[in-house]
Chains A and B, each alone.
Chain A
């Protein structure tokens, strides 16, 4: 059954490796979860799932796979059977086969048999064995025989029940959570700068200096190197963006708090970038877009945030935002093209679900900027484009 569960997880897209599978075999052989599905649930999760964002995926898979299975299954009989003929019902890569061969199954089998023998002499359900024999000594009344209190609430809740309650739903990466996570994602942008790193001892210069000083020690430190990333953040505010204001605020405060950029500028716009960008949206103050563009060059990274949701004419007709002065009338789409031409390292983040990206205005914008959803996954992918590790290609294809 556990082999099938392993294969099932892989089928559903969790990349559990054979090494991790064998680690589970080893721990089962050591009698860590002989008959308790609850313990097995924890064990397999600890050994196979390495990111809390995958916990929810695991929970769903576990609930589907083990629904209807009793909480007490004898895993050890099955394990003994498998150890006698340790083959996975699927073609393995040579590397995996090698790993399988290196594994000492006989010893494990011996060990498991030994455990089972020992355990039978001691009666099932004794206090010696974790999670065996049906009466786990832990978690029931909150006390074990040694008088140490255990928290938690293992009693009365089966693993399937726990899995079905999907408590880790909020940790999924396709949801944005907090400023800290955004900050961590933005931190990856640091790698754009080649000259980075803390202040360090310049060994060569120090040796030179000491030699010249006839052995007198003098330590030379290289000046701290600078991160070269410059970031411009342009955010759509007001109107249809109102439902996303909390999210945008978080992104903004994370970017603002990030100290590792060489330069950071931010402006607001409404609907689309027109002749003026705003530092204060209520007073409608801010520099002309032309000036901002002149201050930029291709070393700047640009992140635009907006729902790209407007009437197509708001993109293609000559508008001037809220401002009446229009010395160089140009439609919004033209301003976006100019921005893209000036700073090719640019992306668009969209807080709307991907399903509504087919609107006419959104499609037009997607042909200028690569668009990503404003989730942790989307932000990560956008940062990858900005640092050049993924191709910077606008287009209508939606990345998964």
Chain B
């Protein structure tokens, strides 16, 4: 197989560690497990990989009631029963009631696809273990029809977790793991530039200083993330406030902080802080 290389996209910037982790997962065909603070772009990574490698993306949003099999296929018995009662269709062919799930569709596809298994930790503890076998051999049997669906091309599987639950060791051993570290200032500047290329450099620098300062305040419980920073930059630039006032007043805090107590804490810290400039 040809080696494929992921380097990020125009709007999704990656650091070297994430780039290497993605490439190893893509090339040795193992699931990529992504963790990280909320708002660091875990889910968007799968979109970026699909875009960069020109593959189709299948999304599987895991819920607390999700079963591993849902990702492979669902046998729509209720539809079949309904058809049986009203005689709408010939119900003898069970195959028409087998609906492939996101993973199943990626297996059945001709070209290699990306599968996003989003927030795997929301599901039951057994969920990851139940998926192991299928992810290993990349094929599964449909019990109702006796058919086997085998992957023509092993899909790129991206799994995200918010650390709500510990994942089993056996599962972890088969994954490539990457923890998205919170972007450092340098990378963050580039990320904001992607979204707001017009922001004046001095203003951006002041905003970033304020942003990182806020993140360091111990009284703030829910620390603002990348996506919130991007929104904040938008709000500030549109308001036309100049850098000095921004530093002094920290306007539009509600964009960055979503808890009332955090906004209060930030205001308090702002009043008593040592001047922001380094």
Contacts and interface: CB of A to CB of B under 8 A. Distances in A.
A13 to B, nearest CB: 15
A139 interface: yes
Contact of B8 (A46, A151, A178): A151
B85 interface: yes
A237 B172 CA distance: 40
Contacts of B81: 217
Contact of A32 (B7, B23, B183, B190): B23
B9 A130 contact: no
A271 B24 CA distance: 54
Interface in B215-256: 218, 221
Given A19-B173, A50-B175, A39 B20 contact: yes
Contact of A151 (B28, B65, B186): B186
Contacts of B65: 198
B164 A184 contact: yes
A50 B172 contact: yes
B19 A31 contact: no
A388 B81 CA distance: 45
Contacts of A32: 20, 23-24, 27
Given A149-B190, A179-B221, A215-B85, 8 more contacts: A23-B30, A31-B3, A32-B20, A42-B16, A46-B176, A47-B176, A52-B179, A151-B187
Closest 9 CB pairs of A and B: A152-B15, A42-B20, A151-B13, A52-B179, A50-B172, A46-B21, A151-B187, A154-B16, A50-B177
A347 to B, nearest CB: 20
B24 A47 contact: yes
Most buried by A among B13, B14, B23, B65: B23
B173 A50 contact: yes
Interface in A154-180: 154, 167-168, 171, 178-180
A184 B165 contact: yes
Interface string B153-183: 0000000000111000000111111110101
11 contacts: A23-B176, A32-B20, A46-B21, A47-B24, A49-B177, A130-B23, A151-B14, A151-B15, A151-B191, A153-B184, A168-B179
Contacts of B164: 184, 187
Q: Do most interface residues of chain A lie in helix, strand or loop, or is the interface mixed?
A: loop
A281 interface: no
Nearest to A30: B27
A183 B49 CA distance: 32
B5 interface: yes
A2 B178 CA distance: 20
A154 B8 CA distance: 15
Interface string A184-196: 1001000000000
A217 B190 CA distance: 58
A400 to B, nearest CB: 19
B179 A55 contact: yes
Contact of B20 (A131, A142, A151): A131
**Most chain B C-beta atoms within 10 Å of own C-beta, residue among A17, A46, A146:** A46
B218 A246 contact: yes
B20 A152 contact: no
Nearest to A380: B166
A43 B15 contact: no
Contacts of A139: 15-16
